[in-house]
Structure 1
Amino acid sequence: MDWLGIGVFILGLAFAGLVVILIPVMKKLTATLGNTADTVSTVNKSVGEMTGEITVILHNANETLTDVHGKMEKVNPVFDIIHDTGQAAHHLTSTLVRFTGQKTDKAKEGADAIDRSQLEGLLRGAAFFYYLKQMSKTDKNEA
């Protein structure tokens, strides 16, 4: 054998030794990658389940917000009536204060100050309270 053959033989032995040393490492790496694949599969299933639940929660939240918005639209006229009633009461009381502070010959000016726009809120408020009274009567009759 010549030197080239001896060198190739030594390289072959070194490669065989390296393969023998790397076999357990490769087995451990295979086991680790298998566990990683199982973990990723479990996470994918969990994320899929959570996505479905989150979709249901968001759908329910949207329905609730739509319901609240609709109910607020129904309640807004009540607040408008209460606001108008408050303004009319303010105008009425301020007119009455001016009226009582004036002499009797100026009473006509005080009465003229109470015009339709200032009483409209009071009338709407009275109609609202009449409506509430009628609703309570129908509720009692149904019960």
Structure 2
Amino acid sequence: MDWLGLGVFILALAFAGLIIILIPVMKNLAQTLGNVADTVETANKSVGEITGEVTVILHNTNETLVDVHGKMQKVNPLFDIIHDTGQAAHNFTSTFANYTGAKADKANDGISILDKKNLEGILRGAAFIYYLKELQKEKKAADEAAD
């Protein structure tokens, strides 16, 4: 045998040794790839089931939104009425405030006249007498109702 044949023989033995060493690695790789295939198949089934459930949930959500939209359309006129009522109340109170402002000016004029002529005590006395008469009327009406 010549050197070339001997070199080829050594390379063949090294290649055979490498193959023998790689056989368990290749078996583990084949097993791992089989497990990955099973996992992917299980994931595909799970995704299919989840997709079905999500489709049902989306359908129910759409029905709920349509129902809520219909009910909001029914309630919108009520909010319009409340808004109009608020506007009317605002207009009334602003008009009343303007009216009472004018009356307040006249009342202030009257108070200044009372202050100038020292008639405040007389008016308080008249108010007290009026209050007492009203109490007597209420007491008399309560006594008559009790009899």
The residue that corresponds to 1:13 in the other structure is 13
Shift of the alpha carbon at 1:100?
A: 6.0
The residue that corresponds to 1:51 in the other structure is 51
Structure with the larger RCO, 1 or 2 (CA within 8 Å, 6+ apart): 1
* 1:11-50 aligned within 5 A: 11-50=11-50
**1:86-112 deviation digits (Å, cap 9, x = unpaired):** 222332344345456668xxxxxxxxx
* Structure 2 CA distance for aligned equivalents of residues 94 and 6 of structure 1: 117
TM-score, normalising length from structure 1?
A: 0.64
**1:65-91 deviation digits (Å, cap 9, x = unpaired):** 121111111101011111112222332
* Structure 1 CA distance for aligned equivalents of residues 96 and 2 of structure 2: 130
* Structure 1 CA distance for aligned equivalents of residues 6 and 100 of structure 2: 130
The residue that corresponds to 1:91 in the other structure is 91
TM-score, normalising length from structure 2?
A: 0.62
The residue that corresponds to 1:74 in the other structure is 74
Gaps of 5+ in 2: 104-147
* Structure 1 CA distance for aligned equivalents of residues 40 and 94 of structure 2: 76
**1:6-54 deviation digits (Å, cap 9, x = unpaired):** 1111111111111111111100100010001111111111111111111
Paired residue type of 1:35: N
The residue that corresponds to 1:121 in the other structure is none
RMSD: 1.9
Gaps of 5+ in 1: 104-143
The residue that corresponds to 1:140 in the other structure is none
The residue that corresponds to 1:63 in the other structure is 63
Paired residue type of 2:16: A
The residue that corresponds to 1:4 in the other structure is 4
Q: Which of these two proteins has the greater Rg computed from alpha carbons?
A: 2
Paired residue type of 1:15: F
Task: Please give the secondary structure, in 1, of the residue aligned with 2:60.
Answer: helix
Give identity over the alignment, percent.
78
* Structure 2 CA distance for aligned equivalents of residues 99 and 4 of structure 1: 125
